[in-house]
Amino acid sequence: MRILVTGGLGFIGSHTCVELLNENYEVVIADNLSNSSIDVLDKIEKITSKRPKFYEIDVCDKEKVSKIFNENEIDAVIHFAGYKAVGESVTEPLKYYRNNLDSTLTLLEVMKKEKCHNFIFSSSATVYGSPKELPIKENFPLSTTNPYGTTKLMIEQILADLSKADKDLSIIVLRYFNPIGAHKSGLLGENPSGIPNNLMPYIVRVADKKLPFLNVFGNDYDTPDGTGVRDYIHVVDLARGHLKALEKGANFKGIEYYNLGTGIGYSVLDLVKTFEKVNNVKVPYKIVDRRPGDIDACYADPTKAYKELGFKAIYGIDDMCIDSYNFIIKNKESHK
């Protein structure tokens, strides 16, 4: 089976390519390198001893996307490509709507023309907004609080409409919780440029003394220690979830939605303390004001993905902390 992976050199995309190649899928990557590096291709090859075919293109470019389909028989598409910074989406909403919607529509149009029927979409737990109950099930009401999240929700709606109109399609929507960790080899991981927005990339920079301390955004949330609770999932587990979705998609028509999380919530301070313990480093922190838009707690009910996909996260929070730090230590040069 040959899979087109858009955004295949990004954080989740690259780990998914490794898992696909390890399971002998053929992989074609489309990535415009806007938030990734071409070196990742070499690293994927180093880990798997296979070099995926690579197209440096923007998925909004219909001609170039068509060219990929003309040159390769594509059986399924996993669509990771997209902008993902929540804060930036608030200040530059047009950029987010244009890019995230346009790329998806372009892909879907080309897939229709080329009679490719299997689509896996990277959605996010952000589509649950501020959940009234925990853990979060797939049938909970959906809402968003920022343009990034709204692009995910709009695309989910587009996919639902498309699925009604085209009965040949198999669409799997994966709603990710908080991916962290890195490949055990230390070759692949999350490498944001500038000051990180997300918790784990920030923690590793503090541990590595590139930043003086972590700002903990609020300790007056309705959680056991007052800091925000999230469902952190190892990126390799998340990547494996896509293989399960592909297997499901091969024998199914319609649209389905799955949470990819562990079902366990950890607070900011749980993560900091675990990180310090397993890596034997200090992560100084200060409690500061809440970050606007953050919610108290968010964690998945992972039952549906387990029952219907056979997916279960195997890595725990210790592995996530060890692997995140290992990646930064092994890649110090690029963080100077």
Binding site for ligand UFG (CB under 6 A): 84, 86, 124-126, 177-178, 197-199, 202, 214-217, 228, 230, 268, 291, 294, 298
Contact 299, 135 (CB under 8 A): yes
φ, ψ for residue 77 (rounded to 5)? Answer: -120, 130
Minimum CB separation of residue 23 from ligand UFG in Å reads 27
Nearer to ligand UFG, 22 or 197 (CB): 197
Nearer to ligand UFG, 84 or 244 (CB): 84
The residue from 55, 128, 148, 232 that is catalytic is 148
Nearer to ligand UFG, 8 or 149 (CB): 149
Nearer to ligand UFG, 147 or 249 (CB): 147
Amino acid at position 103, single letter = S
Contact 203, 234 (CB under 8 A): no
Q: How far apart are CA 127 and CA 143, in angstroms?
A: 6
Cis peptide before 131 (omega within 30 of 0): no
Report the residue closest to ligand UFG, judged by CB: 228
306 tagged catalytic: no
Tell me the three state secondary structure of residue 180: strand
- Ranges of beta strands (E only) in the chain are 2-6, 26-30, 53-55, 76-79, 118-124, 170-176, 178-180, 214-217, 229-230, 232-234, 254-260, 266-267, 285-288, 297-298
- Active site residue ranges: 148
